[in-house]
A = this chain, B = another copy of it.
Amino acid sequence: MRSAMKFSKIPTATITRLSIYSRYLEAMVQEGVKIIASDKLAQKCGINPAQIRKDLAYFGEFGIRGVGYFVKELLFEIKRILGLNKIWKMALIGIGNLGSALSAHQNFIRQGYEFVAVFDVDPAKVGRRLPSGQIIHHMDELDQVVKEKGVEIGVIATPAAKAQMAALRLINSGVKAILNFAPIQLQLPEGTAVENVDFTVKLDNLAYNLTMAEG
């Protein structure tokens, strides 16, 4: 209980950075790197060393002064903190171009996220099999399939006009976390975790860099 209360104060930005650290640490494990200095890790991630130390300090003591971090141990700890020491079960709603791309994207399963069910309402799609092997269910089966398969996260790749309804149906089926790719702001009951994927925020960073380089 005490640790849960402490954890709840951790800023979203810190969680996002932990996630980024884990990506680089994973690459290092694969390259056979055993120990990394905090300055080197900071440089790889494009984040300043003091920030990394501050982020990790929320969760306890990591690393050895003057030596660095043990790569595997740090990765293990970060994954434990983030809750990534398991496979998370996801449902995908909307099998248009984006949904099809997401269903085939290798990064999900590599990072511990698995689509256990996919849904659409188009009669031309329902009942067909994706290249991944998944059969496309009709949205009318959502409630039943979510419960049977133990879906924990809903991923919305519908057109904007259908996203709010899709999200509410997921929540009514007991799903408590939504990853939303539709370009609208969802209105959801309190207690639902929502993340919106907006590609253009990344473009704004590029535009700023180009503007500065020209200026």
Contacts and interface: CB of A to CB of B under 8 A. Distances in A.
Contacts of A105: 98, 183, 199
A: contact size bracket:
35 or more
Interface stretch (A69-77, A116-124, A133-141, A190-198): A190-198
B160 A106 contact: yes
Given A15-B204, A205-B15, A210 B107 contact: no
A177 interface: yes
A35 interface: no
Contact of A83 (B3, B183, B210): B210
A80 B177 CA distance: 35
A22 B178 CA distance: 23
A179 B195 contact: no
Contacts of A82: 204, 207-208, 211
26 contacts: A15-B205, A16-B204, A19-B204, A19-B205, A27-B185, A82-B204, A82-B211, A83-B210, A88-B203, A88-B210, A97-B98, A97-B101, A98-B98, A102-B199, A105-B183, A106-B183, A107-B198, A107-B199, A110-B200, A111-B204, A153-B203, A176-B210, A176-B213, A177-B209, A193-B213, A195-B202
